Amino acid sequence: MTKLKSAKYLPLVFVAASAFTSACQKQTNTETASTEVQSPVATTPTTAGTDSTAGKYLSQPLVPGMYTADPSAHVFNGRIYIYPSHDIEAGTPENDNGDHFDMRDYHVFSMDSINGKVTDHGVALDIKDIPWAGRQLWAPDAAYKNGKYYLYFPVKDKQDVFRIGVATSTSPTGPFKPEPKPIAGSFSIDPTVFTDTDGTSYMYFGGIWGGQLQRWATGKYDSTAAPEPATGNALLPKMAKMRADMLGFEGPVKDVRILDENGKLIPATEHNKRFFEAAWIHKYNNKYYFSYSTGDTHNIAYAVGDSPAGPFTYKGVVLKPVEGWTNHHSIVEFKGKWYIFYHDTQLSGKTHLRNIKVTELKHNPDGTIQTITAVKS
C-alpha cells in the first residue's frame, strides 16, 4: 500500500513531514433483531470473489452491508462473537485528530464457524445511552466473567478527552447497559481485556497521536503534548489488573514494556516497531503474545513475554499493511486453530469506512508467528 496516502488523525507536523479469553458458560439468549448478513468468507487467496478485484485479497469482508472495523473476536459458549467499531459516514470533516472516525453505536456479530454465516445482533450499545460520552465510539473489546458479559469501549467525554467505559449484559450480544461513569483512572483508547488461565483479568490500552496517550505522559492531562517524542524511548502502552467485578482497575496503571532483542526499550524513532495503538494479547504454549499496530508504518507487530505484565520482546510482524491507513486486529483460538480478525477498506476505498475480515494465523514450532500478507500490492 502507499504509505500515508490518507491522513488519519495524524498531527500536521506528520502530514508535512511524510505527506475477548473466553469462558464457557450457558449463553442467555436475549438478543433481538438478529439478521443473517452474509455468505461464507474465503480464508485463502482466491479469484472466485464477488468482483474482479476479489482475488487481490486474502479474505473477503465478513459484513458487506455495513462498515465495520477494529474487530475484537472472542469464543463464548462455543460460538464466535465479534465486537467491532461501527464505521459511518457521519459527514464530520477529516482532520488531524481523526474527527471523521465519528462512530455512534456498536453492533455485535456472531458465527458458529469461520466459514459460516454471520449474524448481526443489532445495536448493542448506543452513544446516546452513555451519560458521560461526548463523541467518537472507537475500538471496543468484550469479556465474560461472573455470569456477565462486559463491553469495554473508548469514547471522548464531554471535555473531548478519551476515557474508557464499561457496559454489562447477561448476553454476549447485548444490549449492554453502561456504567454511569468512565472507569476511574482510565484514559486514551483501544482497551482489550485478557483473562489468564488463573482467572485474573487485565486491561491493556492506549494509542498515540489522535488516541491521546501522549497527553498523559507526565501523569496529568496535557492537551499541548507533542504527538509522540522525537528522541528517546517510544511511548509505552498501559495495563492494569481488573477488579473481581470487572468494572474497574485494582491497583495502579502500569507501563507495558516492549524491548528489542538486546533488552532495550524500543526507541521513538523506530516507527516500524514502536507501539502506536490496537493492543491485543493472546497466550500460546504458556507464552504471552502482545500484538499491536505500529500506526504510521501500518504493521501489526508482536512481542513475546513470560508474564501478562511483560516485559515483552519484539519478535516481528503478524500482519503487513492492509488497504487503508489503520491496521487493527484480534487473535483468537477456535476449534484448535488460530485466527486473526482484521479490517481493510476493500468495500469503500475510504480511510474511515472499513470492513472486517478473518484469516488463519499460524505459529511456527519455535513460537514465532508466520507473517500474513492480506493484500497483493
Q: Shortest gap between Cβ of 103 and ligand FUB (angstroms)?
A: 7
How many CA atoms, within 13 angstroms, populate the side-chain half-sphere of residue 269? 2
Residue 265 neighbours by CB under 8 Å, 6+ apart: 233, 234, 236, 257, 258, 259
# binding residues, ligand FUB (CB under 6 A): 13
Instruction: Report the distance separating Cα 81 and Cα 99, nearest Å.
Output: 28
Pairing of strands 312-319, 300-305: antiparallel
Region for residue 124 given its phi and psi (left: phi exceeds 0; alpha: psi -120 to 50; beta: otherwise):
alpha
Which of 59, 326, 346, 359 is in the footprint of ligand FUB by CB under 6 A? 326
Q: Which residue among 189, 246, 318, 353 contacts ligand FUB (CB under 6 A)? A: 189
Residues 6+ apart with CB under 8 A from 366: none
To ligand FUB, the closest distance from the beta carbon of 197 in angstroms equals: 27
> Minimum CB separation from ligand FUB for residue 262, in Å?
29
Q: Which is nearer to ligand FUB, 326 or 346 (CB)?
A: 326
Distance CA 122, CA 92 (A): 24
Q: Which of 60, 85, 195, 212 binds ligand FUB (CB under 6 A)?
A: 85
CB of 73 vs ligand FUB, minimal distance in Å = 15
Interface with ligand FUB, residue 328, by CB under 6 A: yes
CB of 288 to ligand FUB, least distance (A): 21
Identify the residue among 277, 296, 323, 344 touching ligand FUB (CB under 6 A). 277
- Enumerate the active-site residues: 70, 277
Q: What sign does the CA torsion over 217, 221, 225, 228 have?
A: positive
With respect to ligand FUB, which residue has the nearer C-beta, 59 or 136?
A: 136
Contact by Cβ (8 Å): 180, 165: no
Give the one residue of 58, 69, 123, 124 binding ligand FUB; rule: CB under 6 A: 69
**CA-based diameter of the chain, in Å?**
53
Out of 42, 111, 139, 303, the only residue in the binding site for ligand FUB (CB under 6 A) is 139
Site residues for ligand FUB per CB under 6 A: 69-70, 85, 101, 138-139, 189-190, 207, 277-278, 326, 328
